[in-house]
Every structure is written in C-alpha cells, then in structure tokens.
Amino acid sequence: MTTHIYSGPLSMFGAKVEIAAREKGVPFELTMVPFTTDDAYEPKHPEVLRVNPVKQQVPVLTDDIDGGVALFDSTQILEYFEDRYPAPAHLALWPAGIAERARARQLEQKSDEVFFPHVIKLFGLQHAMHSAPAVAACAGCARFYEEMEGLLETSEYLAGPYSFADIAFYMACVFADRKGAGMTEATPRLLAWRTRVGDRPAVRAVVDPMMRFLASHGRGVPAFLRR
C-alpha cells in the first residue's frame, strides 16, 4: 500500500480526507498522531513536521507513486484523489459539469472559511454561551444553515450530486453541534440532509470512532450521533 494518511482523533480536516478516501475506494494506511488532553497534537509526528513544517498540522498525505507525493491541507489532498483516481466516474466527489464543479468547490471553501470560523469562536466560550461573542457566533452559524437550507429545495445534496462539499459541511456541523451551535427544526431539509450524509458507510466509519473517542474521554457527543 502506497498511500498514507496522517490524521488525529479529533481532526475535522483529517476526517474529511479519510471520508473522501473511503468514498472513492482509495487504499490507504492511517496513522493517528499523538494527542493530549488539552487538545494539542504532541509530540509532533516527524512526517507531519517534514511535510507541513510551518503549520505542523494534520492532515498530511504521503504517496510513493510517481517518485513520491507529500501533501497537506484537506482540500489539496482531495484534489489529488480526484486526479489520481478519476475512474470510476460514479465515485467522483466533484460534479462533472464545469459550472457545477465550481459551485461545489466554492461551497466547500465557504464551509471551511465562512462557516467554521464562527464555530472556532465558540471553542473558548463553552462556559459563557450567553455572552455577546457566543450569541453572535451562534447567529452566524444559524444564518449559514438558512443559506444551506435554500440549496436543498431541489436537491438532496448541497451541490447537486453528493460531493466533497457535503463531506466538508457535515464535519463542520458535527463540531458546531459539539460547541452549542447545532442546527434546529428551523431547517428541516438540512436536518434530513444531515441524516442522509451521516448514514453513509464511509462517513460512519470515520465519525463513529471519533465519537467513541470523545465519550471515552468524558466529552460530550452530539445527540444526533449517540448510537
């Protein structure tokens, strides 16, 4: 086996990569890097330091095909998967059309760069959820949920066919729910979408161990993922 993924037990971005690999049937070896109780990845894995020396973060992918490939950043790794494994077409994680693919890529980027920053603001506010910064962060998440609800009026998935945009937003929603900004009955189509994505075998194979890790460390598990 030539493809190796380095991730972490609570890495949202690592989970995106692993789900994508499983959806596409990419054979890989998985290494979970050391993780401490204060949410730090220490000591840094030498391959993570080699491939991503500035940010020193997972996910990292190495592949010995074509003389060796070494990548970081979940989106860049997904793009590599799509280029490396273009067939079979029904396992593609971007839409086939140019415009549709561009919209899906934009949605994936918005999930990481527009939605998830609201969630990040909540990480240090779990004991102050009524504070102005926490209320504002939750409101930002709610506005994004409403936008995604609109996309589901005519489609089961965010960008038409199931894509990496769905994987990215699903994982971001898991973390949003953990931090107190989960979706509500105000977005029923989005709730149904969450169930559809969460029931996929590739998603469950990645998310279920993550939830078991949380439970084993006495951390809260979102209600919709308590199996």
For 62-102, how does the pLDDT look when each residue is reduced to its tens digit (9 = 90+)? Answer: 999 878 999 999 999 999 999 999 989 889 999 999 999 99
Amino acid at 170: Y
- Residue pointed to by tokens 């994982």: 171
Query: Using one digit for the tens of pLDDT, what is the confidence trace for 20-69?
Result: 999 999 999 999 998 877 677 888 999 999 999 999 999 999 999 878 99
Q: What is the pLDDT of residue 92?
A: 95
Pairing of β 60-63 and β 29-32: unpaired
Residue 219 has pLDDT above 80, yes or no: yes
What residue type is 136 in one-letter code?
Answer: A
Going from N- to C-terminal start, the domains of the chain cover 3-91, 98-225
Q: What's the CATH code, domain 3-91? A: 3.40.30.10
Say whether pLDDT at 131 is over 90.
Answer: yes
Domains 3-91 and 98-225 share a fold: no
What percent of the chain shows pLDDT beyond 70? 99
| Terminal-to-terminal C-alpha distance of the chain | 32
98-225 carries CATH number 1.20.1050.10: yes
